[in-house]
Amino acid sequence: MAQSLYFTFVLSCLICGSYGLVSSGNGTTTVRSVDYNAATAVTPTERRDSTTKPSTTQSSKSINAPAVRLTSTTTSKVLTTTTRPPKTTTTANYSFNTEDLNEGIDKKVEKRVWNKEPEDEPLEFECPPLGLESLRVKDPQLRASSYKRRGLGPHRGRLNIQSGIEDGDIYDGAWCAQYEDKKQWLEVDARRPTRFTGVILQGRSSIWSWDFILTYKVQFSNDTLVWQPAMNGTKEAVFEGNQDTETPVLALFNESATVARYIRINPQSWYENGTICLRAEVLGCTLPDPNNIYAWQQTEQGTKDKLDFRHHNYKEMRKLMKSVTEACPDITHIYSIGKSHMGLKMYVMEISDHPGKHELGEPEFRYVAGMHGNEALGRELLLNLMQYICQEYKLGNQRIVRLVKETRIHLLPSMNPDGYEMAFKKGSELAGWALGRYSYQGIDMNHNFADLNKVMWDAIEFDFQNNDKSKLINHYIPIPEYYTAEDAFVALETRAVINWMQNIPFVLSANLHGGELVVTYPFDRTEDWAPHDDTPTPDNSFFRWLATVYASTNQVMSNPDRRPCHNENFQRYNNIINGANWHTVQGSMNDFSYLHTNCFDVTVELSCDKFPHASELPIEWENNKESLLIYMEQVHRGLKGVIRDKDTEAGIADAIIKVDDIDHHIRSVADGDYWRLLNPGEYEVTVSAEGYNPSTRMCRVMYEHYPTICDFRLTKTPKQRLKEILAKGGKLPKDLQLRLRQLRLRKLRASTKAINSRLPRKRPPTSPPTAAHFSANEESCAAVGKMHSTCSKNIGKMYFSKFLV
């Protein structure tokens, strides 16, 4: 989720550290560094893959660096019907070289990305978050001693919740107490006995205010009447909070943590120029309670699928992808589209019944995740998806078998692997809102693609002012020269994805993000740079269909009782919105994909929590599984066909397919096959190609989940045939000679008519002209012309006016 104005402010805080006062086992108070990944005592089970653990928490250092420049057209009316043609393997090779994951990672890359120190591993909590950030904890479970107004109520005291641009509305960025005293508290009801193990605190999200808690106490209760404080030996423990508004600070309770149902956070001191405001997450292990009146809520929503539900760093992602190819070698193929700035490869999993090759008539589909490295859910969903497809294909699930046999699927789980590693090292709850969003160079890749909207709108403006359509273009808009220069401010990862788009004829795609619950569709940029304004494409109706397909099948988005994530209520838009109507984004991948290629692309904001805890992943998979599958199936909606030469039956590449009343064309690929995404209806389709006569036919798109076959056979123009014959040194056939003679005569008539229309009208001669008034050759006309006479052509003969001397 992008909030450009806000991130500028947030980045200034990323280098700030914090410290926490924690109770130790010997009854003393210990000061620990808790910069992002801070914690108190760390048990041997809390770090991944480590046998000896330090007794104090290590603080991770951000490897975020400032951005640097890179060096480096006969018409026939026919109604077609929906049929399923046999597939033929194409001769075009739209593929990348296979990656061997048995090879080790380059040692230089390994040393650069992973320092073999304990602090490079994320903390693993003994107990997971209760779910304030993920909204698993509902609003009625949060209470407070007081609050300033509705927008600063206890329901806003959730970790990483984001405020709107304006303060004072119902979507402010924290819980803020009405009074400034030590009796204020925020209370969380776990709804069943819970062993609380820690608290994560954050200040207020606001670009206008600077509010955070310096120190606080914690109390526990089973009935909200009697409260027991967290102890530091024989004294009540005081925990140190934040030093800024954005850095999450963790405090873990000692080993004798209290089992209770309720927990309160009680601020003791706060920033002197601010007030009592906080955002929080609570860590705890829920315990069974047969007497709990909320027992029906104790069974967590899960999944029956046996998948690897955990967060995978680069090394673990490689292992998982390798295991999938070993389990399903006949339908999978792993390749790399390039490397990140730090040298990490950008792996893609291809799934098809003939992996590694394009099949004639088979559409290409892609999912891209991890454009923002800290939005980790999309990455895990794609890893789960490749596992699921492999398992279900082997089990004979007909839906999956049909999808694999009729679609070439490409899954890129991590477009920004450097950013992900930054966030992963901090952990899901401690990475904050922005760490890992950008590339290692500090580039936001969601704003890093060529701005082709401006090129298109400039051409439209030129056409309007000069009445010249020669510069008007609505598809395959070329990339400006400044963008392709070696020193252009373009991330290596962005360049790799653009090259990928240009080498594989994708038809449909989705870009998986996190931090909201909504599906956005192009255009993403407003024409006049307004902050937000509905800016639809010519294919707006189909884009709305695509967005609706995903949103309506997503279990969370489609829930009418869900609450907004942060500061926008997208339910009033049915959980879909035009990207530019949300916030304008220059250089988005969606707009670039639509204007530069044949591919339709949308953005899916998957969850309120950008980096959900591993315990949330099974639920998130179940929320999105049907949406991921049914969205892929939309690649088979609309028209498809092959454009061939009528004489040779060879496929015609780069033919332009125009649908009447939709001002956006597409083009055929190397072997002449094409795919045009359309809603059900009847369409007039015109196909044109250089050297061929255009052809038009009516094509009807049905409601079935299979495309309408609409093939075209084009005839060469006489000029093109002449060129080919002359190039081969051949003799012109009689039909072509006759056709050329007809064309010359037609051209002569047209030029004569044009000349006569420019001549002044003269009175006809009083007597019929004699033979002397005519000449059979052009030379005599020219000679008379030298004597200042008027002469005009008329189908090869000359008529001299009566004024001839």
- Contact criterion met (CB below 8 Å) for 176 and 152: yes
Total-model pTM: 0.80
Q: Tens digits of per-residue pLDDT, 33-86? A: 333 233 333 332 333 333 333 333 333 333 333 333 333 333 333 333 334 444
Neighbours of 533 (CB within 10 A): 15
Coil, helix or strand at residue 229: strand
Residue spans of alpha helices (H) in 529-637: 540-553, 579-582, 589-596, 617-633
State the pLDDT at residue 728. Answer: 78
User: What Cα–Cα distance (Å) separates residue 252 from each residue in 198, 234, 276, 461, 782?
Assistant: 4, 18, 22, 61, 104
State the pLDDT at residue 111. Answer: 65
Is a pLDDT exceeding 70 seen at residue 793?
no
The residue-averaged pLDDT of 101-106 equals 71
Instruction: Kindly tell me the burial class for residue 350, based on how many C-beta atoms sit within 10 Å of its own C-beta (0-12, 13-18, 19 or more).
Output: buried
- Contact criterion met (CB below 8 Å) for 563 and 139: yes
State the pLDDT at residue 780. Answer: 46
Contact residues for 94 (Cβ-Cβ < 8 A; gap 6+): 357, 358, 364, 503, 504, 505, 669, 670
Contact residues for 723 (Cβ-Cβ < 8 A; gap 6+): 691
Contact residues for 276 (Cβ-Cβ < 8 A; gap 6+): 176, 177, 179, 180, 184, 211, 213, 267, 270
The residue-averaged pLDDT of 538-547 equals 97
Alpha carbons 517 and 147: distance in angstroms, whole number: 27
Nearest to 711 by CA among 634, 647, 651, 636: 651
The residue-averaged pLDDT of 335-352 equals 96
Alpha carbons 378 and 363: distance in angstroms, whole number: 23
- 76-80, 210-214, 723-727: least confidently modelled range: 76-80
- Contact criterion met (CB below 8 Å) for 787 and 793: no
Alpha carbons 443 and 67: distance in angstroms, whole number: 6
Residue spans of alpha helices (H) in 396-433: 398-406, 417-426
Q: Of residues 429, 605, 616, 620, which has the active-site annotation?
A: 605
Contact residues for 585 (Cβ-Cβ < 8 A; gap 6+): 2, 446, 447, 524, 525, 579
State the pLDDT at residue 246. Answer: 94
State the pLDDT at residue 93. Answer: 66
Contact residues for 18 (Cβ-Cβ < 8 A; gap 6+): 34, 35, 38, 240, 241, 242, 243, 244, 247, 249
- Which residues share a beta bridge with 682? 700
Q: Tens digits of per-residue pLDDT, 635-657? A: 999 999 999 999 999 999 999 99
Output the six-digit token pair for 365: 């589909």
State the pLDDT at residue 745. Answer: 87
At residue 565, what is the residue type?
Answer: C
State the pLDDT at residue 295. Answer: 52
Q: Tens digits of per-residue pLDDT, 405-432? A: 999 999 999 999 999 999 999 998 999 9
Is a pLDDT exceeding 50 seen at residue 703?
yes
Q: How far is CA 165 from the centre of its chain?
A: 24
* Residue 99 falls in the annotated catalytic set: no
State the pLDDT at residue 169. Answer: 76
Which residue has better confidence, 360 or 72? 360
- Contact criterion met (CB below 8 Å) for 96 and 499: no
Q: Specify the DSSP class assigned to residue 30.
A: E
Query: How are beta strands 231-232 and 235-236 bridged, if at all?
Result: antiparallel
Contact residues for 173 (Cβ-Cβ < 8 A; gap 6+): 156, 161, 162, 163, 204, 205, 206, 279
Is a pLDDT exceeding 80 seen at residue 340?
yes
CA angle 113/383/414 to nearest 5° reads: 40
Grade residue 796 by pLDDT with cuts at 50, 70 and 90.
very low
Share of the chain above pLDDT 70, in %: 78
State the pLDDT at residue 725. Answer: 78
Coil, helix or strand at residue 55: coil
Is a pLDDT exceeding 70 seen at residue 117?
no
State the pLDDT at residue 471. Answer: 58
- 204-208, 255-259, 425-429, 793-797: least confidently modelled range: 793-797
Which is it for the CA torsion 53, 54, 59, 62, positive or negative? negative
The residue-averaged pLDDT of 606-622 equals 95
Alpha carbons 169 and 790: distance in angstroms, whole number: 83
State the pLDDT at residue 736. Answer: 72
- Contact criterion met (CB below 8 Å) for 65 and 440: yes
Q: H or E segment at 588?
A: none
Contact residues for 290 (Cβ-Cβ < 8 A; gap 6+): none
State the pLDDT at residue 644. Answer: 97
State the pLDDT at residue 28. Answer: 32
Q: Tens digits of per-residue pLDDT, 455-478? A: 999 888 876 666 666 556 889 999
Contact residues for 413 (Cβ-Cβ < 8 A; gap 6+): 317, 347, 349, 369, 370, 378, 379, 382, 383
Q: Give the position of tokens 């206008």.
A: 208
Grade residue 800 by pLDDT with cuts at 50, 70 and 90.
very low
Is a pLDDT exceeding 90 seen at residue 167?
no
